[in-house]
Amino acid sequence: MLQNYSLSQLREAKEREPFSGIYLNNKESGMYHCVCCDSPLFSSEKKYCSGTGWPSFSEAHGTSGSDESNTGILRRVDTSLGPARMEVVCKQCEAHLGHVFPDGPGPAGQRFCINSVALTFKPRKR
């Protein structure tokens, strides 16, 4: 069951404190899913340490090149803190997941900065 702060964060797009999430240092292989609807969102294969204090991914699960139409995410412009930035929400239930920034690794150069409370992790079966 989600704690009250978690529900508020997911509905009102609030951010958690950096370095406070349970998945920040998770190194297991598997898939990160939406905590609200269980949609698969990010693979551990695309997770990396960005040093920002939030779990970071270079792309969403299902991305093909620059095409995100088969992913579980949507992007929305967010101006809540002034300058525009790109919010990331779950495509199925519209829960706030975090933000994406254009300073990541790899050819796409993206950093999906995702809140741990928005995720559940399912380890890869061996």
**One digit per residue, pLDDT tens: the chain, 126 residues?**
445 445 555 555 556 688 888 999 999 999 999 999 999 999 999 999 999 999 999 999 999 988 999 999 999 999 888 889 999 999 999 999 999 999 999 888 999 999 999 999 999 987
CA pair distance 49, 21, nearest whole angstrom = 13
Q: What is the CATH number of the domain that holds 43?
A: 2.170.150.20
CA pair distance 47, 24, nearest whole angstrom = 10
Just list the catalytic residues. Answer: 113
Which residue in this structure is represented by tokens 């919010």? Answer: 87
Write out the residue range of the structural domain in which residue 26 sits.
Answer: 4-123
Give the burial string for 69-89 (b: 16+ CB within 10 Å, else e): eebbbeeeebeeeeeeeebbb
CA pair distance 18, 113, nearest whole angstrom = 10
Give the burial string for 16-45 (b: 16+ CB within 10 Å, else e): beeeebebbebeeeebbbbbbeebebbbbe
Number of domains observed in the structure of the chain: 1
